[in-house]
Amino acid sequence: MFKKAISFIHRPPGANNGEMDEDPGIPRVYSEPYFYGRITRQEAEDILTVNGKQDGLYLLRESITPLGNFSLSMAFQGNIVHYSIEKKIDGQYTIADDMAFTDPVALIHHYQSGHCGFVTVPRFPCSRSADQEAVAFRGLSYNDLHSLMKEKARSMNASLSRALGTMRESLLILVLRNMHERMPWYHGEITREECIRRLEESGHEDGKFIIRKRADNQTFALTMSCDGQMRHYFILVNDGETYSIENGQRFKALIILVDHYHNKRDGLPCKLTTPCPAPNIRHQVFEINLLLKNPVCEFSSGTPPRPKPPSSLPDIAKPIPPRLPPIPSSGRTPDRPPPPVPAPNGAPGVDIPPREKRIPFMEKSTSEETTDDEDTVKTCLPDSPMTHEDAEKLESVYIDIREDVMSNDLQPEQVILEGKLGSGQFGEVKKGVCHLVNKTVPVAVKTLKNNDPAGEKEILREATLMKRLDHQHIVRMIGVCKGESLMLVMELAELGPLKKYLEKHLEMKVWHQVEMMLQICDGMQYLESRDVVHRDLATRNVLLVTEHFAKISDFGMSRMVDSNSEYYHAHGPGRWPLMWYAPECLYYHKFDSKSDVWSFGVTLWEIMSFGARPYDRKRPQEILNFIESGNRLRKPKNCDDRLYNIMLSCWALEKGKRPTFREMKPTLDHLYKEFKITNM
């Protein structure tokens, strides 16, 4: 895998040597004094709080996951709000699909100059003190990282400008992959007994941990202390590519995994806090100068940096009265200011509509910010119908290509289109093949008709979101190709939509139907864990790779959700699939994974009804009245009561009463096994 990534940037020895030494330098965002690196939302809040929390005081941080995104944290009326700055597929940065900029610095400058879609203008940079460095990863500064990346690019005889520019993310992963060997928490190959001895010797402390290589030389183990006890977890290396604690999220490097569990408990008994240092680590670390001079956030910290008066505005950002546009009912008009009213202190102020209505940008955040009360690590589906091995066998054709192409556009000559598979909102979906470095894979290609700019924006948005997803029951994106028209290249799910399959296979056994439900539930649980709401879950958008392998598709309406605001607030009803929508979506335009749960209930109903149309021919208002009066879709013919009860639970009016996907999975798994044994 990584050999192939290297081939992307490899150049023949001696080729264009002038270019080889062009160091584009560390991206300017990393040197900005208000940039703190990959710190958590909580840490950002602590820093702004300790610095006075005055309106417009802001800092910038890099998202923990996905790599490459940023968040702007800003104080307003005693609270801290967070905006996710997304890196689009074309390398530009944007907030909520507004204007795009070459880097987050340009973006902030733009919004400082009065084009404000925020709760207030990002007016006062909350700067680090001179002796504080931004943290790239725990124990690694951006400067060190840049030096290591440069060293790596040179060792590969790669063009520095390319390796550190467009290929930056691939190079970063290459460098991070072995970085654990230089981290204090990595103890190399020691026995479990020795690991316990070292942890005990250094004293129990919640979250203190060691990672060691296991004797099989292929896997790793995490040992951590919590509540005075030792806990041990396997760390699997999946296909030599990604690292995961059993059934947990996969990461491309151990150092990223550690960062994740430092920020989020995510199934562990507590977060990872303090590394139990390996005896030889001082030597290793100092050798490559990796220790931060004065890290902003050490592992065990939580202590914010000392207060520092906000620095004055850069020239470009002269203080101006904040301009807050009202939330548009359809489409956004971010530049239109509301009428000013005197602020309490007599300064020019603004008429601020109620909180929910005054924020034109969704305050978004990334998956680092989800609640940490989940327990994804230790739950698993024993004997689940589609085993990991089965899925990986089927998917092997796509394995080890994503990394190469995802950060790059595909060239038009790489994508050969064949017949039509279906039609989407902005054009056709065609079957085809995609020629990659050393293999050719079958693909489905979403094409844009008439080069419609609105369609292009939508497809790029869909691509940006899909790029973040990597799960066996979700259609993966392979790349984007800008030929005569824009193309979104995806994994091919040869058998097409589940809805059509159901309509044609009335003989389908219940266990087979439940198998589909279980796989969809698995994919949806993953989306939930990635803070993504699908917003269009229905059997028409579940595609079949084989009769027993389903994948969720069509992310055209999907959005990232801010765990801070808990739901995605849509600007206005569009072409919405009303029959699949929960009442709060229709009334308040609020979407979260619990509204996806409602749609999942309708999808289960469709599966048990062999693709029938829900609510017959009722009109939208009639459906709402029907639901509000306590009615629900009728139990499909021959449907087991327990399955119908799951559907009913998904349709609880109060979303808090609906189950989560992870709660439904064991029940579905149990039913699957029961029906399978009796061949129902």
Which region among 417-425, 573-581, 606-614, 660-668 touches ligand AMP (by CB under 6 A)?
A: 417-425
Let me know: does 463 contact 488? Beta carbons within 8 Å. yes
Nearest to ligand AMP of 184, 497 (CB atom):
497
Taking each helix axis from N to C terminus, what angle separates 593-608 and 641-650, rounded to the nearest 10 degrees? 150
Among 27, 33, 422, 442, binds ligand AMP (CB under 6 A): 422
Is 266 an annotated catalytic residue? no
Min. distance of Cβ 191 from ligand AMP in angstroms? 47
- Amino acid in the structure at residue 425: Q
3-class DSSP state for residue 513?
A: helix
Among 210, 221, 493, 533, binds ligand AMP (CB under 6 A): 493
Min. distance of Cβ 494 from ligand AMP in angstroms? 7
Min. distance of Cβ 226 from ligand AMP in angstroms? 43
Residues 276-315 that bind ligand AMP (CB under 6 A): none
Taking each helix axis from N to C terminus, what angle separates 661-677 and 510-529, rounded to the nearest 10 degrees? 160
| Cβ-Cβ contacts under 8 Å for 371 (sequence gap 6 or more) | 563
Residues 85 and 178: their CA atoms lie apart, in Å, by 28
Please confirm whether the linkage preceding 66 is cis (ω < 30° from 0).
Answer: yes
What mask, x for binding ligand AMP by CB under 6 A, covers residues 192 to 211? --------------------
Nearest to ligand AMP of 421, 514 (CB atom):
421
Q: With binding defined as CB under 6 A, does residue 577 bind ligand AMP?
A: no
The pair phi, psi for residue 251, each rounded to 5°, is: -130, 150
Residues 322 and 341: their CA atoms lie apart, in Å, by 12
Among 68, 117, 424, 636, binds ligand AMP (CB under 6 A): 424
What mask, x for binding ligand AMP by CB under 6 A, covers residues 473 to 492? --x--------------xxx
Q: How many residues does the chain have?
A: 680
Min. distance of Cβ 465 from ligand AMP in angstroms? 13
Nearest to ligand AMP of 487, 543 (CB atom):
543
Instruction: Look at the block and give the residue holding tokens 């040179």.
Output: 154
Q: With binding defined as CB under 6 A, does residue 543 bind ligand AMP?
A: yes
Q: With binding defined as CB under 6 A, does residue 421 bind ligand AMP?
A: yes
Min. distance of Cβ 488 from ligand AMP in angstroms? 9
Instruction: Look at the block and give the residue holding tokens 């925020």.
Output: 118
Q: With binding defined as CB under 6 A, does residue 327 bind ligand AMP?
A: no
Residue in the shown chain whose Cβ atom is closest to ligand AMP? 424
Among 278, 429, 474, 518, binds ligand AMP (CB under 6 A): 429
Beta strand pairing status for 70-76 and 79-87?
A: antiparallel
Beta strand pairing status for 93-95 and 79-87?
A: antiparallel
Helices (H), 115-167: 142-155, 160-163
Residues 473 and 526: their CA atoms lie apart, in Å, by 9
Let me know: does 264 contact 372? Beta carbons within 8 Å. yes
Q: With binding defined as CB under 6 A, does residue 553 bind ligand AMP?
A: yes
Nearest to ligand AMP of 105, 488 (CB atom):
488
Min. distance of Cβ 498 from ligand AMP in angstroms? 10
Which region among 18-26, 423-431, 434-442, 594-602 touches ligand AMP (by CB under 6 A)?
A: 423-431
Q: With binding defined as CB under 6 A, does residue 611 bind ligand AMP?
A: no
446 is in an annotated binding site: yes
Site size toward ligand AMP, by CB under 6 A:
17
Q: What is the DSSP letter of 169?
A: H
DSSP string over 84-116: EEEEPTTS-EEETTS-EESSHHHHHHHHHTT--
Min. distance of Cβ 463 from ligand AMP in angstroms? 12
Min. distance of Cβ 429 from ligand AMP in angstroms? 3
Exactly one of 536, 562, 592, 669 is catalytic; name it: 536
Q: With binding defined as CB under 6 A, does residue 434 bind ligand AMP?
A: no
Q: With binding defined as CB under 6 A, does residue 496 bind ligand AMP?
A: yes
Among 46, 515, 522, 554, binds ligand AMP (CB under 6 A): 554
Instruction: Look at the block and give the residue holding tokens 């021959």.
Output: 638
State the DSSP H helix or E strand holding residue 213, giving kind and residue range, or none if neither.
strand 209-213
Nearest to ligand AMP of 140, 444 (CB atom):
444
**Residue 357, burial from CB neighbour count under 10 angstroms (0-12, 13-18, 19+):** exposed
Which region among 299-307, 396-404, 422-430, 583-591 touches ligand AMP (by CB under 6 A)?
A: 422-430
Nearest to ligand AMP of 553, 565 (CB atom):
553
Which region among 52-60, 271-279, 421-429, 506-514 touches ligand AMP (by CB under 6 A)?
A: 421-429
Residues 254 and 242: their CA atoms lie apart, in Å, by 8
Nearest to ligand AMP of 17, 396 (CB atom):
396
Nearest to ligand AMP of 327, 493 (CB atom):
493
The pair phi, psi for residue 205, each rounded to 5°, is: -160, 135
Let me know: does 96 contact 362? Beta carbons within 8 Å. yes
The pair phi, psi for residue 67, each rounded to 5°, is: -60, 145
- Cβ neighbours, 10 Å, residue 287: 9
As given in the structure block, the two tokens for residue 288 are 């490559």
Q: With binding defined as CB under 6 A, does residue 538 bind ligand AMP?
A: no
3-class DSSP state for residue 428?
A: strand
Min. distance of Cβ 489 from ligand AMP in angstroms? 9
State the DSSP H helix or E strand holding residue 511, giving kind and residue range, or none if neither.
helix 510-529
Is the Cα torsion angle 490, 169, 60, 293 positive or negative in sign?
positive
DSSP string over 619-663: -HHHHHHHHHTT--PPPPTT--HHHHHHHHHHT-SSGGGSPPHHH
Nearest to ligand AMP of 2, 576 (CB atom):
576
Annotated binding site for ATP: 446
Annotated binding site: 446
Which residues have a catalytic role annotated? 536
What residue ranges bind ligand AMP (CB under 6 A)? 421-424, 429, 444, 446, 475, 490-493, 496-497, 543, 553-554
